Structures are given as structure tokens and as C-alpha cells.
Amino acid sequence: MVYQVNPAKKISGEIKVPGDKSISHRSLILSSIAEGESEIEGLLEAEDCLSTMGIMRDLGIEIEKKAKERYTVKGKGLDGLEEADDVLDCGNSGTSMRLLAGLLASQDFYSVLTGDHSLRKRPMQRIIGPLSKMGAEIWSRRNGLAPLSINGQELSSMEYKLPVASAQLKSSILLASLKTKSETVIIEPAVSRDHTERMLKGAGIDLEIKADRIILKEAAKRKLNPFKIKVPGDISSAAFFIAAGLLAESGELLIKNVGINETRSGFLEVVEAMNGNLELLNRKEQGGEPTADILVKASKLKGCEVSGEIIPRLIDEIPIISVMAVMAEGKTIIKDAEELRVKETDRIKAVVNEFEKLGIEIKENKDGMEIIGIQTVEGGIEVDSYHDHRIAMSLAVLALNTEKGITINGSEIISTSFPNFKELLLEVVK
């Protein structure tokens, strides 16, 4: 789908972004294995989460839509899932595949997980390796690629040091460990999003976090209590509007009810380092997660370095940070972000290629990129989404700051995480 985005000088208004994608996936999965009925409000009704929902239904779970973004899930406990009679399709969603592989590895039945052409190229060995150490039987195509074929087994617990700071990997192991009896210890090289830990604890699981260690305590038989959750707005979706508001010549934008969990909010720290004018108002706690309304004002940004421990806390925001860097005075360096190469697409390559098409000077490094701003971007050409929602939305925000606008091909992929992105953008452009 071709998407034309025209330049804009003023961004203002008040908006709400859809529910957090990571929390939505986890709400669906954990409520399915809880004992009784859970209620989810504010669920992200986007393709990635609908893939998880479809799979939980295929595994015999009753999920009922009560109203827009409101669902009840009749959880059947840790032993209540049933074998599906077909392959389970994760679509474009790495979170679905990695988390569900962990869950299904310990079930007493056979499952096959597959996904779209992008997901079938993403590394799954990172979960197959540790899950196999626990006794899981998982087959993949050569090089650890999906489809994954899983012959569910009784697993044993382990102590495992993650080779990469990945919340998907950590969550996959935690889900696989729920049916083991002894203690599981996961050691993180750097903090990554902790929604699984928060939700498991909230559902009554004995989990302890001690510095870089996540300890699932020994238990004769674990059980999850059903829960009610209100999913906060997704900071990774809000980031596109924060950037649009900061880069505009004028205007004030209020984004209501955004999750600001510090394992996710590295982007806000970068905005501050870049001199962005942003205020957090009305701080609250919702669904076990901190939230705030974010007030963004047009700003004169300066470049900065983004590297080290902050990377996993803003990993999905790096494409939009690279857009901000083009319009920021001075040098921005993004390092230690090699993980970007194995996201929905190689996000370093995608940004570099499309920026170069637009005449933007950018240096590609193995683990990131360097951009010196401020650069004037003429636009007036077509660019590509690389079948990656965050690349498409980043290019849309860049387009607002060009002289002639940009045409983005393959924009339908935006609906994997942010179905009403285009409507909201039109609403705030003044």
C-alpha cells in the first residue's frame, strides 16, 4: 500500500496511542494458563497480538470480545491447553513465536509454529539452545529458522546466562520453567523489558529479582491466579508522535496514558539528552505498570551518543531516533545495537539505504550508525518499508520534515502494531 506523507509545520492536539504490544501478548498468554477468568482492557487489536490470540484459541482457550479492546479469557491452568489440529501461525510476530515456543515446549503435546516470510528468517536458535538444555525437543529448518516443530516434554529447570539482553528469550525460558519443580535462575547481561516478571508476580508466582538475576522459586506445583488488567499505551508507538511533536516548528501535543516502565523508557532519556522539551504529567500506576501523560513541545534538538546499557531499553525506538538525529544539531552516534540487524528487517541497513535514497548522509557501522545534523531533506521520492512497521512509521515522521513529502511503499505493515497510526497522524498535523 502506497502512503503519501506531506510536510507539516505544526503538530498539536491531544491523542491516545493503542495498548502496549508486549503487555498485550503477555496478558493473552498468561491469562490462558491462569486458573479462571481474566479480564483485559485496552488490549492492542493489531495483527501481532491477534496472532497470539488466534493461537491461544487454537490451543483450546475461550477468548471473548466484550467491547472495543475489552476481552475475557477463560484460563485453563498450566495443564489445560490442548493440542491444535493445524500449524500455529505467528504472522510477523517474533514475540508470539519466541514466547509460545517456551510455553509449548513443556506441554504434553505436539505443536508447529510458523510465521510470515520475515519471521521465518529471524534467529530462533537463541531459544532452541536454552530450551533444549532444559530437555525440550524442538526441530527447526537449518540454521535455527522457523517453522519450529515442538514435541512437548517434561522439562527440568536450569541456571542460564542470557547471551543477549532479550526479553523474548528471557520470557520464553520463564514460560518453559513454570511447570518445573526446582528453581530457575536467569542472568541478564543488561536489563530488558520486565513485563513478564511483573505479570507473573502479579498472578501469584514466586519470583525474585536480585540485581541481574531473575529467580523463579522452587515450588511443588505452581499456579497462576486470574487477573484484571488495563493495558497502558505503548511507549514504542508514542515515540513516533513524540518525535513528530519535537521536530515540528511549532505546537504542543499531549499523549495520554503511556506506559513509562523504566525498562522501556530509554527513549525518554535520549529525548532529554537531545534537549527535547517534554513533560511527564499525571503519573499513575496501571496494571502493575507506571504510566503518565506525555506533553511534547516543538524543540531545537542536539545530537547525542546512544550506547551501552540503554540499548535494550529503547531497542525498538532506534529507527525513530535516527530520524531525530537528521534534524538535530551536531553528531548522533548509535552503538552497541547489533540486535537491530535481526529485527523484523535489518533495521540498520533499512535506515541507511532509505536515508541515502533521500540524500541524507549517514555512516553505517556494524553495530549502529552515525548521523551529523541538521540536514535538509528535499523528499519528493518513493521509499520502502522493508515489511517493517517501525521503518514505515519512522519514514512517515521524517516525511513531515521534508520539503516535498515522501511516498512510502509497503505501508500496510504498520497495522502489525499501530492500526490507526495514519488517522492519528492526520489528526495532529495542523
Nearest-CB residue for ligand S3P: 22
Among 78, 100, 138, 167, the residue binding ligand S3P under the rule CB under 6 A is 167
* Closest listed residue to residue 251, CA positions, set 299, 218, 203, 182: 299
Asked if 177 interacts with ligand S3P (CB under 6 A), we say: no
Distances (CA, A) of 377 to 133, 240, 302: 51, 18, 17
Residue for grid cell 516548528: 249
Residue 81 near residue 61, CB atoms below 8 Å? yes
Considering only residues 314 to 343 of the shown chain, the ones binding ligand S3P according to CB under 6 A are 315-316, 339
Q: Which of 194, 234, 293, 316 is catalytic?
A: 316
Stretch that binds ligand S3P, among 11-19, 140-148, 166-174, 227-235 (CB under 6 A): 166-174
Cβ-based nearer residue to ligand S3P, 171 or 385? 171
- Per-residue contact flags (x/-) with ligand S3P for residues 43 to 82, judged by CB under 6 A: ----------------------------------------
- Per-residue contact flags (x/-) with ligand S3P for residues 9 to 38, judged by CB under 6 A: -------------x----------------
Among 106, 166, 261, 401, the residue binding ligand S3P under the rule CB under 6 A is 166
Asked if 261 interacts with ligand S3P (CB under 6 A), we say: no
Whether residue 390 is annotated as binding a ligand: the answer is yes
Supply the minimum distance, in Å, between the C-beta of residue 315 and ligand S3P.
Answer: 5
Cβ-based nearer residue to ligand S3P, 165 or 358? 165
Cβ-based nearer residue to ligand S3P, 73 or 199? 199
- Per-residue contact flags (x/-) with ligand S3P for residues 186 to 205, judged by CB under 6 A: ------xx------------
* Closest listed residue to residue 216, CA positions, set 203, 199, 202, 197: 197
Cβ-based nearer residue to ligand S3P, 31 or 171? 171
Whether residue 347 is annotated as binding a ligand: the answer is yes
Asked if 95 interacts with ligand S3P (CB under 6 A), we say: yes
Stretch that binds ligand S3P, among 167-175, 197-205, 209-217, 225-233 (CB under 6 A): 167-175
Considering only residues 277 to 316 of the shown chain, the ones binding ligand S3P according to CB under 6 A are 315-316
| 20 tagged catalytic | no
Tell me the β-bridge partners of 161: 187
With contacts defined by CB under 6 A, how many residues of the chain interact with ligand S3P? 11
What residue numbers does the annotated binding site cover?
A: 21-22, 26, 94, 122, 166, 168, 316, 343, 347, 390
| Active centre residues (catalytic) | 316
Can you give the binding site for ligand S3P, defined by CB under 6 A? 22, 95, 166-168, 171, 192-193, 315-316, 339
Annotated binding residues for phosphoenolpyruvate, as ranges? 21, 94, 122, 168, 347, 390
